[in-house]
Amino acid sequence: MLGHDIIVIGASAGGVEAATQLVRSLPADIPAAVFVVIHIAAHSKSVLPQIFQRRGHLPATHPKDGEDILHGHIYVAPPDFHLLIKPGYVNLAHGPKENRHRPAVDPLFRSAAQAYTNRVVGVILSGSLDDGTAGLLAVKKVGGIAIVQDPEEALYDGMPGSAIENVQVDYVLPIAEIGEKLVTLAHEPVETNNNSVDSQLAMETDMAELDSEAVQSLERPGKESPYSCPECGGVLWEIKNSNFLRFRCRTGHAFSPDSLFAEQSDALEQALWVALRALKEQSGLSKKLAQRAKAQNHSITAKRFAERAQETDAKADLIRQVLLRSKNETINTEHTDANVEDNDLETDVG
């Protein structure tokens, strides 16, 4: 009988170091395949496979689409692609972003749960916000095992903390103990799971692949919400997994509560910058027209345009103050932190 031989690992800010420590502790003969998603910018260069291979005992690669799944191998999600698992092989999908990321953790965990049910072990490491919680819920729903890095140890406790709050986690462990637990689980026989995968899990997995039937289907999991998708402007549907609330639009963009709030904040900031530009242009035009009217001795018109310029400058100054106050907010630092770690380690790899 096979053991828990499908290990899926998700992390974000602070996750490169944590994942490196974890894979270092895995022996070369582990009877399991390991899959890793760490948030990374779409157009950046990822050297995670080289890092894992240099520091650990297992070969690590960015897999090719359709590549066979082998025990004793680490498959790392490449930039700008969701890493998905099919029975026996890997699927790379340029589907809609989830929780503001591609690759994202939830699609990997969800696809593993659909393909391998209770043979899956889901591991959540350091990261901001709450990506991975919904995916870990899917793993648990089909009988898999949930492991979370101890939040007290994690550099960023957002993802571990969210998982612990919303999922019946099997083990909360420091990094030093997670590897040993994975080896034990990989050797423990797993009874065949006859539970069928529900339609919602299958639909959401298909949407990550931008499957035409899933995108065009009029059916959507959950209920329609009053909120719009920050990515495409479509209606968001509210989805509840246990007590964990999520949102997904018709084209497949998905958000956890924290990621939706962060994306709305970014959209609001962008709108403020557009408004500031428009007001400054309007102010400049008003001043020019005031000067032109004054030169033509049209004093009433000149006064009117001068007053408009003052009013517009006052509005622009209010927006400028709002932007300055929000400058030090750290809502969107997760992505930057993960990239900084990756770049720092790239130098180490050489």
184 burial type by CB count under 10 A (0-12 exposed, 13-18 middle, 19+ buried): exposed
Ramachandran angles phi, psi of 38, nearest 5°: -125, 130
Tokens representing 106 are: 């939830």
Rounded distance between C-alpha atoms, residue 147 and residue 262, angstroms: 26
* Segment 234-263, tens digit of pLDDT: 888 888 877 788 888 877 888 888 888 888
Task: Indicate whether 79 pLDDT > 70.
Answer: yes
Mapped to the 3 state alphabet, what secondary structure does the chain carry? CCCCCEEEEEECCCHHHHHHHHHHCCCCCCCCEEEEEECCCCCCCCCHHHHHHHHCCCCEECCCCCCECCCCEEEECCCCCEEEEECCEEEEECCCCECCECCCHHHHHHHHHHHHHHHEEEEECCCCCCCCHHHHHHHHHCCCEEEEECCCCCCCCHHHHHHHHHCCCCEEECHHHHHHHHHHHHHCCCCCCCCCCCHHHHHHHHHHCCCHHHHHCCCCCCEEEEEECCCCCCEEEEEEECCEEEEEECCCCEECHHHHHHHHHHHHHHHHHHHHHHHHHHHHHHHHHHHHHHHCCCHHHHHHHHHHHHHHHHHHHHHHHHHHHCCCCCCCHHHHHHHHHHHHHHHHHC
- Model confidence at 211: pLDDT above 50: yes
User: 167-205, pLDDT tens digit by residue?
Assistant: 999 999 999 999 999 999 999 999 877 666 777 777 788
pLDDT tier at 231, thresholds 50, 70, 90? confident
The residue ranking higher by pLDDT, 207 or 53, is 53
Write down the mean pLDDT value for the chain. 86
The whole-number average pLDDT for the span 139-165 is 95
pLDDT at 58: 96
Mean pLDDT to the nearest integer, 14-34: 96
> From CA 259, how far away is CA 245, in angstroms rounded?
12
pTM of the model: 0.78
Query: What pLDDT score was predicted for residue 267?
Result: 79
pLDDT at 342: 45
Instruction: Give the per-residue pLDDT at 99.
Output: 87
93-143 pLDDT, tens digit per residue, is 998 899 888 999 999 999 999 999 999 999 999 998 889 999 999 999 999
pLDDT at 37 > cutoff 70: yes
In this predicted model, what pLDDT tens digit does every residue of 302-348 receive, in sequence order?
999 999 999 999 998 888 888 787 665 544 444 444 444 444 444 34
**Burial level of 45, CB count in 10 A (0-12/13-18/19+)?**
exposed
**How crowded is residue 245: how many other Cβ atoms within 10 Å of its Cβ?**
17
| pLDDT level of residue 10 (50, 70, 90 thresholds) | very high
Q: Identify the pLDDT of residue 15.
A: 93
- Predicted local distance difference test score (pLDDT) of residue 347: 38
Rounded Cα distance between 244 and 206, Å, is 21
- Is the pLDDT at 46 greater than 70? The verdict is yes
Average pLDDT over residues 22-41: 95
The pLDDT, as a whole number, for residue 245 is 86
Residues recognised as catalytic: 12, 39, 131
59 preceded by a cis bond (ω within 30 of 0): no
| 199 burial via Cβ count (<10 Å: 0-12, 13-18, 19+) | exposed
Q: What was the pLDDT predicted at 250?
A: 79
Of the given ranges (21-25, 88-92, 260-264, 343-347), which has the lowest mean pLDDT? 343-347
Angle in degrees, CA 248, 255, 178, rounded to 5:
125
Supply 72's token pair: 């004793």
Q: Are 162 and 152 spatial neighbours (Cβ–Cβ below 8 Å)?
A: no
Check pLDDT > 60 for residue 64: yes
38 falls in which pLDDT band (50, 70, 90)?
Answer: very high
Q: How high is the pLDDT of residue 335?
A: 44
